[in-house]
Amino acid sequence: MSKYKSAQTIILTGAGTLAPNIMSSASSLVSTSRSFADFVLACTFNVSVVAGKSVHLYRRDKSIVGANDAPVPTLTSYEHKYVGSFPIQLGTSIQYIPLNGVAIPNACEFYLKQDSGETMSTGYLLHMTPWDWAPPTA
């Protein structure tokens, strides 16, 4: 069975650093008719992190009852909807880490939170490729 993919887009750009255990700012609004998405996180750390740590991806659903949205995640708590993790490799070189097959609603935004113990460098990118098992309807 083939995947019918939409174009890959960058939905979150880290304008600043991301400290451990702090929620990132929101991604751009994702509005799609696709049911799934593949993500790639591109990130670096100034200090080598311990292998086995992760950057976690959270989703905030939009327009869940009419125009009402799910609550906004806070900086240190209420993460809301966990959807997966990007395992961090040992080292300070740029890492491109995939997370595939994430279910997505028609409208949402995403947040990152990492537990490496080190600060993630400025300029991290979250890429998203929406897809479905069937071609889009006309």
Asked if residue 67 is part of any domain, the answer here is yes
pLDDT above 90: percentage of residues in the chain:
72
Structure confidence by residue, pLDDT tens digits, 8-18: 999 999 999 99
User: Position of tokens 């993919």?
Assistant: 5
Please give the average per-residue pLDDT across 32-43, as a whole number. Answer: 95
Domain membership flag for residue 15: no
In this prediction, residue 97 has a pLDDT band, given cuts at 50, 70 and 90, of very high
Mean pLDDT, range 82-99, rounded to an integer: 94
The answer to whether residue 76 scores a pLDDT higher than 70 is no
CA distances from 92 to 47, 51, 55, 56, 95 (A): 6, 12, 15, 19, 8
pTM given for the model: 0.92
- The CATH number assigned to the domain holding 99 equals 2.60.120
